[in-house]
Structure 1
Amino acid sequence: MSAQALRMPRPGFGRGHVQAVAGCYFVASFAALGLPPYLTEILPELGDHQARWAGVLYIVPTVFGALGAPLWGRLADRYGRKRLLLRAQLGLAVSFVVAGWADSMATFTVALVLQGVLGGTFAASNGYLGAALEGPALSKALTLMQGSARAALVVAPIVVGSLSGWLSPHRQYALLAVLPLTAALLLAALPEPEPVEQPQSRPETVDAAAPVVSLKVLYALEFAFVFSTVISFPYLIALVDDRIPGTSPALSGVLFALPHLVYLVAALAVHATFRDRPRAGIALGFACIALGLAGHAVAGSPASLIAVRLLLGVGLTLGLVSLSVLAADCAKGRAPGGMFGSLEFFSKAGAVAAGVAAAAGSARFGPAAPVLIGGAAAAVTVIATLLLSSLPALNHRTRRSS
């Protein structure tokens, strides 16, 4: 089989299908990404007048999503990726309805648990794409999926805030349940990915120059990347207020969104540049993250904060794109549902660890602690990546039969 053939999408699956999956993830993730920042407004309606449980409930869907992702991935490989992707969208809809109509803390907590257990639309979408595409076509699709997530992360809180004048964020859960339902209807029209027969062995010359890492290294990089980037999210507004007292909410919101906007602008260009050298991209990405987060701790003006947020955005973009390329490489010859489900587990585990570290560090050392912890983690990962890249184990491509 030629290298060109290995990079082609499965028959009957084109760019429009990829865009449809990414678009459905975007609309379905609105409530999941847009409403958690408003937990401090939601919980007083449910009896927690001081919103003391906001921090815990913020990570509840992430924790249970991490626990359920590997199982749902294996079930997708067994019973069909499209079927399990539809299940994830419908599961989100059910959990949002329960959350929107909850009248107690206990019921609302159950709804967030259901969101984690029954959701998992990102991993399900990636598993679906992994069954239909491979090589650069898959890594480009994964890059587009990350763009969809970044766009939702930027737009959803703004929309939720705009609607809150007419409908409380609590009740918006029920309203926004219509979005994953709509996504499920659209996805129902997509084909089930068809496996393509592959030869028992591939010539050693095929993709010989493409860098490859083991699954264990991919999972470790995913965990470290999510930890080092997410740790700066929860207390960024407090850090901005500490560095520049009196900063307007609008400027704080722009500063929060800047790294994600960098990804939306530059991701495809970065993919074209680093798709054949993802290890260099991931090392450079972690280096930019380390420098950007360290800069947060000393920035004392709007201009300097904008500069370090942009640098963090460069690192975010390089890291996400390179991880997409490495994930697509690891997916060759493997059951994609199980692999992407496990990858989602380590991603969410990194987010949970980041949330705990951010809370502990901020409480003990102040709002600059999370960015310093994340910068140190990124710096350590740069060193580890450079050391590991020289090992023969990372330069060896595992050949799998179909």
Structure 2
Amino acid sequence: MTGTIAVIRGFGPVFAILFGLQFISMGAMEMSGPFWPLRIEELSSSGGIFALAGIGVYVFPMVGVSLTSALWGRMGDRYGNRLMMVRALAGLAVTQILVSFAEDVWLILLLRFLQGCCAGYIAPAQAYGIQVTGGRNRGVLLTWLQVATNVGSLGGAFLGGLILDASSFTTINLTAGSICAVCAVAAWVILPRPAAETSGAGRSQARQNQAFRGQATPPVWGLLALTGMMLASRMVLQVPFALYMAEVFRAPHWVTGFSYGLLALGFVVAAPLWAQFFNDRPASFILGWMIPIAGGCALLTILAGLTRSVEYFAAIYLFWGGLLGGTTPILVALMSAATADGRQGSVLGTAQSWQQIASVAGIAIGAGTTQIFGLTSVYPLVSLLYAASLFAAVGLWFFARSRLPVGDSL
């Protein structure tokens, strides 16, 4: 942990600003995350509309992000990632305020889709961070930016539950929109414009990245596939989670929000440790560890589906989040390291698009399974999907191993 702290200090004050902006803005958006099915159920006139809109309220913004993130990434490479960050935050603010006044299910779905099209904040924030740090310790950097998102998710979900218990869903969205607007102004005013040319240290790091790419880096498409599979497995629970908590545990809203946020807490605690553990390690070593991580996720999710104790369920979510801390940010860092410096926005935007596509698939699978087989079927399904991710990780590990120079090892 001491090494991680030293790396973070080396990033400078810009990193603290980036972390704060991502923590606050993503936390604001997550305040409504676990409670959308309750709002859609309230406004739906039939069970069929609820089933369709309950999926769409999560899927539509993801479709919007998947359609536009690669474009915004290319725009960031051309016109600046800082500008794309401000644009995304402004878009989130406007659409979140508008959706707070919507009382029609179909209007909410339309606004959520537009919100996704206007969003895409995470990819330019990552590319900007890599640019201003010269590509140094990108795995640690991307992990801490992801930590910011998950810290925000933890606080946002819990705060959203408190607001919903005390006030209304409209208040949640108005608060979130106002926070995003403040973040957009802060990003424009505070964040410095990065230097056009990389420093000598940055060029040295770029040469190291090129050497790394030439040795044992698996193809980006393989990393995208593994990332998507693991993310889809988790997102199966997005729609049924609040309903599962209400039906199985009879939990109040604040317990639902707290349990939902424990996944993020586990991520926050473990992700920096995973990042430091994987820092400067070859791709084959990292992919070798993805195998037991995927297996651990499969085991924990089947246990979550078997328990009828909310305390054990919450503990499982905490440990599950700890394992997830060693997945997405690490895999995205591998993709970044395998890509030329001038295309960081494009590859990170593509990664975000692919993650949204995977999320849509996971949500659709989870909602469909719930409708057909009931709420108790979703956790065994998630466990099976993680088992499939395990086999994908084995394939990528063998690929990376086959490209190691003779005499090298994990």
Band the TM-score falls in, shorter-chain normalisation: 0.7 to 0.9
- Structure 2 equivalent of residue 111 of structure 1: 111
Q: CA deviation at 1:134?
A: 5.2
Identity of paired residues, percent? Answer: 19
Q: CA deviation at 1:345?
A: 0.8
- Structure 2 equivalent of residue 217 of structure 1: 222
The answer to whether the Cα contact below 8 Å between 1:97 and 1:173 also exists between their aligned partners in 2 is yes
- Superposed, 1:343-382 pairs within 5 Å as 343-382=351-390
Q: CA deviation at 1:210?
A: 8.2
Q: CA deviation at 1:297?
A: 3.0
- Superposed, 1:293-372 pairs within 5 Å as 293-302=301-310, 304-372=312-380
1:58-78 per-residue CA deviation (whole Å, 9 max, x = no partner) reads 221111111111111111111
The answer to whether the Cα contact below 8 Å between 1:290 and 1:374 also exists between their aligned partners in 2 is yes
C-alpha distance in 2 between matches for 1:63 and 1:396: 38
1:252-284 per-residue CA deviation (whole Å, 9 max, x = no partner) reads 444333222111122212211122242233223
- Structure 2 equivalent of residue 234 of structure 1: 239
Structure 1, 218-227 or 23-32: larger mean CA deviation: 23-32
Q: CA RMSD in A?
A: 3.3
C-alpha distance in 2 between matches for 1:328 and 1:284: 23
Unaligned runs of 5+ in 2: 1-6, 406-410
Q: CA deviation at 1:352?
A: 0.5
C-alpha distance in 1 between matches for 2:25 and 2:101: 19
C-alpha distance in 2 between matches for 1:246 and 1:105: 26
Alpha-carbon spacing, 1:266–1:393, altered in 2? closer, same or farther (3 Å): closer
Structure 1, 262-271 or 154-163: larger mean CA deviation: 154-163
C-alpha distance in 1 between matches for 2:99 and 2:370: 29
Alpha-carbon spacing, 1:85–1:361, altered in 2? closer, same or farther (3 Å): same
C-alpha distance in 2 between matches for 1:234 and 1:126: 28
C-alpha distance in 1 between matches for 2:24 and 2:96: 13
Q: CA deviation at 1:116?
A: 0.5
Alpha-carbon spacing, 1:27–1:271, altered in 2? closer, same or farther (3 Å): same
The answer to whether the Cα contact below 8 Å between 2:134 and 2:198 also exists between their aligned partners in 1 is no
Alpha-carbon spacing, 1:139–1:92, altered in 2? closer, same or farther (3 Å): same
- Structure 2 equivalent of residue 3 of structure 1: none
Residue 266 of structure 2 corresponds to residue 266 of structure 1: no
- Structure 2 equivalent of residue 27 of structure 1: 24
C-alpha distance in 1 between matches for 2:220 and 2:148: 25
The answer to whether the Cα contact below 8 Å between 1:99 and 1:111 also exists between their aligned partners in 2 is yes
C-alpha distance in 1 between matches for 2:113 and 2:210: 48
- Structure 2 equivalent of residue 256 of structure 1: 260
The answer to whether the Cα contact below 8 Å between 1:227 and 1:353 also exists between their aligned partners in 2 is yes
- Structure 2 equivalent of residue 385 of structure 1: 393
C-alpha distance in 2 between matches for 1:281 and 1:208: 19
Residue 193 of structure 2 corresponds to residue 196 of structure 1: no
1:221-277 per-residue CA deviation (whole Å, 9 max, x = no partner) reads 22111111221343235445666x545555544433322211112221221112224
The answer to whether the Cα contact below 8 Å between 2:56 and 2:109 also exists between their aligned partners in 1 is no
Q: CA deviation at 1:342?
A: 0.3
Alpha-carbon spacing, 1:230–1:239, altered in 2? closer, same or farther (3 Å): same
Q: CA deviation at 1:316?
A: 1.0
- Structure 1 equivalent of residue 3 of structure 2: none
Q: CA deviation at 1:207?
A: 5.0
The answer to whether the Cα contact below 8 Å between 1:136 and 1:328 also exists between their aligned partners in 2 is no
Alpha-carbon spacing, 1:255–1:338, altered in 2? closer, same or farther (3 Å): same
C-alpha distance in 1 between matches for 2:164 and 2:397: 49
Q: CA deviation at 1:16?
A: 1.8
- Structure 2 equivalent of residue 400 of structure 1: none
C-alpha distance in 1 between matches for 2:34 and 2:254: 15
Q: What is the TM-score of this pair, normalised by structure 1?
A: 0.84
C-alpha distance in 2 between matches for 1:20 and 1:83: 15
- Structure 1 equivalent of residue 298 of structure 2: 290
- Superposed, 1:119-158 pairs within 5 Å as 119-133=119-133, 135=135, 137-158=137-158
1:343-367 per-residue CA deviation (whole Å, 9 max, x = no partner) reads 0011111111011100111222222
C-alpha distance in 2 between matches for 1:167 and 1:302: 26
The answer to whether the Cα contact below 8 Å between 1:91 and 1:119 also exists between their aligned partners in 2 is yes
Unaligned runs of 5+ in 1: 1-7, 398-402
Q: How many residues align structurally?
A: 386
Alpha-carbon spacing, 1:349–1:166, altered in 2? closer, same or farther (3 Å): same
Question: 3-state DSSP class of the match of 2:306?
Answer: coil
Q: CA deviation at 1:117?
A: 0.5
1:24-51 per-residue CA deviation (whole Å, 9 max, x = no partner) reads 1222224432124333454477675877
The answer to whether the Cα contact below 8 Å between 2:34 and 2:257 also exists between their aligned partners in 1 is no
The answer to whether the Cα contact below 8 Å between 1:31 and 1:176 also exists between their aligned partners in 2 is yes
